[in-house]
């Protein structure tokens, strides 16, 4: 039992010692906080803006689920061709654009639905790429990194629900969506720093 606890502790120490891994986990946190800020309050917005009933809101979210399923199913094929980090950048940027589409077309249910379907597709391609990238940074601690990645994802969900709930009352859904789009672009921008840190760490270990 003691030996196993020491092994766990060393795995955690290895994760925290990797600046690249920690920074990528921050990317996950920012990405998920931004995304869930929109996703969590979309139902409230749709009910208020378009006077949808519970069944209609469920149908709107089923559109997201179906599109996300299809995109996630084929995400591995895409990553094989373009690479995980590039897929993260492309689909993180497209996610921000889809959210902005909801803001611009907020008075049209069709535009909101199309933007939501597009968001589902690019999230279904981008999130698996981000997960694949981070869990492969430290192969010897893959299970620990996976646990950290999941915890940061749920922390993002927690923060988005807490802060988004307050923000919705002050700046409305459009305001939350604009902040979320900015957070996704920030996450994309941080991937450049992730790549730079990766090069610095490789140079350090080669010395």
Distance, in Å, from the CA atom of 64 to the CA atom of 59, rounded to the nearest integer, reads 9
Residues in CB range of 116: below 8 A, 6 or more apart:
42, 60, 63, 64, 98, 102
pTM for the complete prediction? 0.90
pLDDT in tens, 14-33: 888 999 999 999 999 999 99
What is the distance between the alpha carbons of residues 177 and 173, in angstroms, rounded to a whole number? 6
Q: Coil, helix or strand for 138?
A: coil
Interval 45-103: pLDDT, tens: 999 999 999 999 999 999 999 999 999 998 888 888 889 999 999 999 999 999 999 99
């Amino acid at each position: 039992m003691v030996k196993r606890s020491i092994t766990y502790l060393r795995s955690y120490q290895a994760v925290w010692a990797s600046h690249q891994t920690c920074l990528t986990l921050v990317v996950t946190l920012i990405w998920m906080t931004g995304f869930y800020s929109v996703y969590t309050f979309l139902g409230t917005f749709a009910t208020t803006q378009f006077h949808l009933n519970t069944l209609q809101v469920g149908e709107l979210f089923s559109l997201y689920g179906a599109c996300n399923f299809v995109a996630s199913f084929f995400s591995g094929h895409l990553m094989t061709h373009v690479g995980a980090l590039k897929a993260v950048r492309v689909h993180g940027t497209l996610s921000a654009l889809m959210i902005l589409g909801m803001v611009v077309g907020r008075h049209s249910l069709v535009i909101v639905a199309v933007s939501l379907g597009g968001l589902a597709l690019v999230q279904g391609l981008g999130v698996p790429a981000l997960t694949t990238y981070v869990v492969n940074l430290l192969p010897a601690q893959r299970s620990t990194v996976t646990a950290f990645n999941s915890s940061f994802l749920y922390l993002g969900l927690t923060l988005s629900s807490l802060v988004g709930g307050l923000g919705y009352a002050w700046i409305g859904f459009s305001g939350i969506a604009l902040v979320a789009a900015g957070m996704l672009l920030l996450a994309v921008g941080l991937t450049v720093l992730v790549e730079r840190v990766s090069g610095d760490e490789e140079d350090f270990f080669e010395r």
